[in-house]
Amino acid sequence: MNTDTKNAGQSNVEDKDDIDVLALLFVVLRGWKTILFFALIALLIGVLYGRYINPTFKSDALIQIEENSQGVSALGNLASELITPQASKAQTESQLIRSRMILEPVVDKLNLRIRLADPSIGYMDRIKSNRVDTQVSTSEGVSLRTENGQAQISQFNVSQGYLNQAFTITRSDTGFVLSNGFDDFKGEFNKSHSFKGVDGQIQITVVDLPINSHSVTVTKQSVQITTDAINSTLSVVEQGQQTGIVELSMTGPNQQQVSLILKEIILSYIDQNQTRGSEETTKTIKFMETQIPALKKKLEDSEAIFNEFRTRNGTIDVSQEASILLSENAQIDSQLSELQLKKAELTTYYTEDHPLVIQINDQLTVLNSRKQEINDTIAGLPEIQREFLQLSEDTAINREIYLTLLKNYEQLKIVRAGQIGYARIIDLPINTFNAIAPNKMQIWVLAALLGTMLGTILVLLKSLLRNVVKDPERLEAKTGVPVIATIPRSPLLTKLNKTKKSSSRLLAYSDSNSLSYEAIKSLRTSLMFGMPKESRMGQRAKVILITGESPGVGKSFISSNLTEVFAQLDKKALIIDADMRLGELHKAFNMSQDNGLADYLQQDEHQIADVIHATGIDNVDFIPRGKKPYNPISLLSSAKFNTLMIELNAHYDYIVIDSAPVLAASDALVLSQYADKVLMVTRYDNSIEGQLVYAINQLKKSNVQVDGIVLNDVQQGIMSKYSYHYNYAYGNNQ
């Protein structure tokens, strides 16, 4: 094979692929009714869904997370050192906001665990009303508006066994009745009631209920379920990268309720944030408050002892050396007191193994060692001087410790009063009353698109699975039988049949200039040249048997019009409706089915002349099917039918037999023994290819040779992949 041949082969393959893709497009276009149906159904569902769901509202707010705490630094280095600076990142705080630590106070304050519902509202009610009232939760209680009044409950607490269990509450003559399906509890309005059930205690206070025995369901949810429900509608996102600006947004069916819950969440977080910011300062102040009274008492005791000593012994002059030692000893004691104070503060947070604690211990060891040396030196002084120095030293040390602690205590109180958290509110939520969902137009468009896609998929699947008859070449390859004619659809005749204005199904009278009529004539020419020189009956007539694989393929249309065009050749033609079960060939000639083939074969008194009827068309006679028989196949196999065919052969040039479908009955097998040509009629884009192949194979198994396939009702146009099989009229088309 040369290169040109290879290129040509590749080109043919590519063309074939292009045609297949185009064929899929044509399949979709031909199924436009199915696609439109599903699109409209989906659109209707979208409209109903848009009315079914409640509008969704959104509230948002902004808070700022600062990196470092801004304490009061103007009070001095000592106060600043007592407070450890803290840092926080916005992403960490975003997770903290969604925690139960922040949400649970909001849940308890707004009674969000109490859930009210109206069981009388069904699917149709939601669609009709286009919006359903939802509960409103506040710090005073929970309320729900119904068509018969308002339900309002200010308190509802249950034991663990009743959590997440729905109760039904109904107004009664004296108050209300609370039921869980097993127990009924009765109470009065605006009174706190405590009931004891099988699974524990129930506490409830009912303010109001709907009238007319309108029941409402009430449920006490667990904290986990409630906080999870809040988190499912709550969004906490940092705006930008490392900006520290956090946006909080929340959605729900009630604008005011959503704004209220979001506001309480922000306030709960800010309160927790401020508490965390002053926690260390508060702990230090509490520690000092426990130490100040003891130090004051110790100072007072030391002063009393020193004053009593001076009164008893008088004033003593201390030498210069003693003064220096006393001064140094006082400084060491002051340093020791400060280190002990710092150590006490550190040990409230750290263990003895912490580096800072170890360092202070080392300093204390050095100072104590020096203090011991001074004490040994002082021990050499006279006893009275030594006692004087010791008492004055104790008094000075206790006074210094007490004043230092009192000063720090007052400073920390000032710091705590001015201390703030590292989060601040920028914008609180406001009510916009603009629903963000549902976007009805978007829902409608998406629903229509989904319906269109589903319809398209079904059309393609139907085309792939059904595999209807379309391609003549494919039919010939599958069956081994040539397609001897393709009969186009007659638009005019189709229109007349739909409007029931046509008095005849014959193309010669309704659409004589159509391509369909020319195709029938072409079929006649093909049969004339393909006829054997001698008929199977050995007589004058040429017998043509026309059948189909299933009902509705148009074999009666082909039979009647083919008979008419044979008669145009000045030949006597007879058409027989041999489908004695459901034959409708008589309608093509506007005649009655009575006195037909079945009557002749069943009743001895009927003669051949009684069942042959003139059609009003030159050279065309007709034998209708007659009254429906019980056993048509037996009648066709009888000797009387054989005799009938022999006699008819002597009087006609062409006999066209319209037989029952092959897959519906075996009549065609019997009639084929009389036929010179057996034609199989199939309908374009309607008949199933597999059924046609099976029908032809059934005839072949019975040694019946199908001489040709007639592809009927071929539709021309851009959506017809095989429109090139059309014949073209040549003549007057007016």
Tell me the pLDDT tens digit for each residue of 312-340: 765 555 556 667 777 877 888 888 888 88
At 381 the pLDDT is: 59
Per residue in 269-290, pLDDT (tens digit) is: 988 887 776 666 777 777 778 8
Both tokens of 124, joined, read 């149709």
- Parallel/antiparallel/unpaired status of strands 114-117 and 216-220: antiparallel
Q: What is the pLDDT of residue 429?
A: 93
Clarify whether residues 26 and 78 are in a common domain.
no
**Would you list the DSSP string of 486-545?**
EEE--HHHHHHHHHT--S---HHHH-TTSHHHHHHHHHHHHHHHHS-SS-TTSSSPEEEE
Here the tokens at position 465 are: 């699975």
How many C-beta atoms lie closer than 10 Å to residue 268's C-beta?
19
Q: Binning pLDDT at 50, 70 and 90, where does residue 68 land?
A: low
Cis peptide bond prior to 438, omega within 30° of 0: yes
Task: Give the pLDDT band of residue 536 (cuts 50, 70, 90).
Answer: low
The confidence band for 123, taking pLDDT boundaries of 50, 70 and 90, is confident
Q: Are residues 514 and 460 in the same domain?
A: no
- State how far the alpha carbon of 299 is from the alpha carbons of 101, 368, 541, 662, in Å: 45, 21, 148, 125
CB-based contact 725:486 (threshold 8 Å): yes
Are 192 and 324 in a shared domain? no
Q: What are phi and psi of 127, to 5 degrees?
A: -70, -40
Q: From CA 165, how far away is CA 181, in angstroms rounded? A: 11
Q: Are residues 226 and 352 in the same domain?
A: no
Task: Kindly report which listed range (24-38, 116-130, 314-328, 426-440) carries the lowest average pLDDT score.
Answer: 314-328
Cα–Cα distance for residue pair 710/713, rounded to 1 Å: 10
Q: Does 107 lie in the same domain as 174?
A: yes
Q: What local confidence, expressed as pLDDT, does residue 715 receive?
A: 80
Of the pLDDT bands very low, low, confident and very high (cuts 50, 70, 90), residue 188 is very high
- pLDDT confidence band for 17 (50 / 70 / 90): very low
DSSP three-state, residue 364:
helix
Which pLDDT score, from 0 to 100, does residue 265 have? 95
Q: Is the distance from CB of 487 to CB of 714 less than 8 angstroms? A: yes
Q: Which residue has the higher pLDDT, 96 or 69?
A: 96
Residue 142's φ and ψ, nearest 5 degrees, are -125, 135
Of 41-50, 124-133, 436-445, 560-569, the one with minimum mean pLDDT is: 124-133
- Give 216-248 as a DSSP string: EEEEE--HHHHHHHHHHHEEEEESSSS--EEEE
Please give the Cα distance from 188 to 207 (Å, whole number): 9
Q: Are 237 and 184 spatial neighbours (Cβ–Cβ below 8 Å)?
A: no
CATH code: domain of residue 598: 3.40.50.300
618-633 mean pLDDT: 87
Look at residues 424, 429, 58 and name the one whose alpha carbon lies nearest to residue 263.
429
Is 634 within the bounds of a domain? yes
**pLDDT at res. 131:** 80
Q: Residue 693, exposed/middle/buried by CB under 10 A (0-12, 13-18, 19+)?
A: middle
Residues 138-173: pLDDT tens digits?
999 999 999 999 999 999 999 999 999 999 999 999
188-200 burial by CB neighbour count: b if 16+ within 10 A, else e?
eeeeebebebebe
Please give the pLDDT value at position 250.
Answer: 95
Instruction: Say if residue 562 is in the same domain as residue 655.
Output: yes
Q: How many CB atoms lie within 10 A of CB 356?
A: 12
Are 526 and 611 found together in one domain?
A: yes
CA distance 292 to 299: 11
Could you read off the pLDDT of 461-507 as tens digits, one per residue? 877 777 788 888 888 888 889 999 888 888 787 777 766 655 556 88
Mean pLDDT of 198-207: 93
Q: Is residue 13 a part of any domain in this protein? A: no
pLDDT at position 380: 57
Output the pLDDT for position 507: 83
Please say if the pLDDT value at position 206 is more than 70.
Answer: yes
Q: In this structure, what token pair is assigned to residue 8?
A: 């040509």
- Assigned domain for 29 exists: yes
Q: How confident is the model at residue 535 (pLDDT cuts 50, 70, 90)?
A: low
The 10s digit of each residue's pLDDT in 576-619 is 998 888 888 888 888 888 888 888 888 877 788 888 898 888 88
- Residue 83, CA distances (Å) to 78, 272, 413 in order: 9, 18, 12
Same domain? For 27 and 132 the reply is: no
Q: How confident is the model at residue 399 (pLDDT cuts 50, 70, 90)?
A: confident
Residue type, 685: D
Residue 280: what pLDDT?
Answer: 64
For the four alpha carbons of 525, 531, 534 and 540, in that order, the dihedral sign comes to negative
d(CA 504, CA 508): 9
Query: What's the Cα-to-Cα distance from 633 to each of 289, 337, 618, 667, 681, rounded to whole Å?
Result: 118, 127, 32, 6, 21
Q: How confident is the model at residue 20 (pLDDT cuts 50, 70, 90)?
A: low
Q: Of 412-416, 502-506, 660-664, 668-672, give the lowest mean pLDDT range.
A: 502-506
Q: What percent of the chain has pLDDT over 70?
A: 85
Contact 30, 685 (CB under 8 A): yes
**Among 113, 140, 117, 114, which residue's Cα sits nearest to residue 210?**
117
- CA dist 449 to 50, 53, 695, Å? 16, 20, 41
C-alpha separations of 314 from 242, 307, 492 in Å? 73, 10, 146
Of the residues 249, 277, 305, the one at which a domain ends? 277
Tally of CB atoms within 10 A around 384: 12
Cα angle 129-130-131, degrees, rounded to a multiple of 5: 85
Structural domains counted in the chain: 4
Question: Of 277, 298, 324, which residue constitutes the final position of a domain?
Answer: 277
Q: Which residues contact 488 (CB under 8 A, 6 or more apart)?
A: 514, 515, 516, 519, 713, 714, 715, 716, 726, 727
Residue whose structure tokens are 């006893």: 383
Q: Record the tokens describing residue 511, joined without a space.
A: 């659409």
In tens, the pLDDT along 632-661 reads: 888 888 888 888 888 888 889 899 999 989
* Any domain includes 425: no
User: Average pLDDT of the chain?
Assistant: 82
Provide mean pLDDT across the span 441-453: 93
- pLDDT reported for residue 383: 67
- If you search the block for the tokens 């030949």, which residue do you land on? 571
In this prediction, residue 716 has a pLDDT band, given cuts at 50, 70 and 90, of: low
For the chain, the helix, strand and coil percentages under 3-state DSSP, each to the nearest 5: 50, 20, 30
Please indicate, yes or no, if residue 459 is contained in any of the structural domains. Answer: yes
How far is CA 446 from its chain centroid? Answer: 12
Q: Give me 704's structure tokens.
A: 């019946």
Asked if residue 671 and residue 539 are part of one domain, the reply reads: yes
Evaluate whether residue 2 is within a structural domain.
no
Task: Compute the average pLDDT of residues 109-125.
Answer: 91
Q: Are residues 267 and 343 in the same domain?
A: no
270 and 395 share a domain? no
Does a structural domain hold residue 11?
no
For residue 452, the SS3 value is helix
Q: What is the DSSP string of 396-458?
A: HHHHHHHHHHHHHHHHHHHHHHH---SEEEEE---------B--HHHHHHHHHHHHHHHHHHH
Write out the residue range of the structural domain in which residue 297 sits. Answer: 280-418
What is the separation, in whole angstroms, between the first and last Cα of the chain?
52
Residue corresponding to tokens 């005011």: 256
Question: Looking at the domain assignment, is residue 731 inside a domain?
Answer: no
Decide if pLDDT at 732 tops 70. no
Question: Strand pairing partners for 178?
Answer: 169, 185
Q: Which residues of 629-644 are buried (b: 16+ CB within 10 A; e: fewer)?
A: beebbebbbeeebeeb
**What pLDDT score was predicted for residue 512?**
80
Residue 431 has pLDDT above 60, yes or no: yes
| Cα 518 to chain centroid, rounded | 56
Whether pLDDT at 533 is above 70: no
Same domain, 329 and 273: no
Alpha-helical (H) ranges within 31-143 are: 32-52, 77-82, 90-97, 100-109, 123-129
Whole-angstrom CA distances from 162 to 153, 187, 206 are: 17, 18, 18
Amino acid identity at 394: D
DSSP 585-654: GGGGGT--S-S-HHHHHH-TT--HHHH-EE-SSTTEEEE---SPPS-HHHHHTSHHHHHHHHHHHTT-SE
- pLDDT band of 448, cuts 50, 70, 90: very high
